[in-house]
Amino acid sequence: AEEQIFCLKAYEKGKSVKLRLFFFEFYCSKWKPLSESKMQLSSITKSGESVCLDVDSDSNNIVTKSCKCLEGNSTCDPKSQWFKLVTSTRSRFKPNPFLQISPYSKTLSLSV
């Protein structure tokens, strides 16, 4: 049987991101770190918009929004877009990392 992978999927700007099960990594959103902190994670939606993970202040859901503070404005506060990725300690039949980084494109593929 093929192994399913969990992917954090960005559909469109302003919408919640979804943790979905897929059989192929092709369907997953690719995430890359931005800014000096490397704590903002950016992806491209299927409509071609660049978005970052963000916490919705009303619902506390993780959504996609325009990336904040990339111009170096010292009064800007990007903290709602700061995320720290950790390695999974969950055991698996076949060892796979939680975070896969392509050495060529420097993009992230999240899977559990």
Between CA 112 and CA 106 the distance in angstroms is 19
CB 78 within 8 A of CB 36: no
Tell me the two tokens of residue 11: 């559909």
Q: Cβ–Cβ contacts within 10 Å for residue 31, how many?
A: 24
Q: Could you tell me the residue range of the domain that residue 28 belongs to?
A: 5-110
Q: What is the pLDDT of residue 82?
A: 92
Total structural domains within the chain: 1
> What are the pLDDT digits (tens) for 70-111?
877 778 889 999 988 777 666 555 544 444 444 443 444 444
> What are the pLDDT digits (tens) for 5-64?
778 888 889 998 888 777 766 677 888 998 778 899 999 988 899 999 999 989 888 999
Q: What percent of the chain has pLDDT over 70?
A: 73
**pTM attached to this predicted model:** 0.68
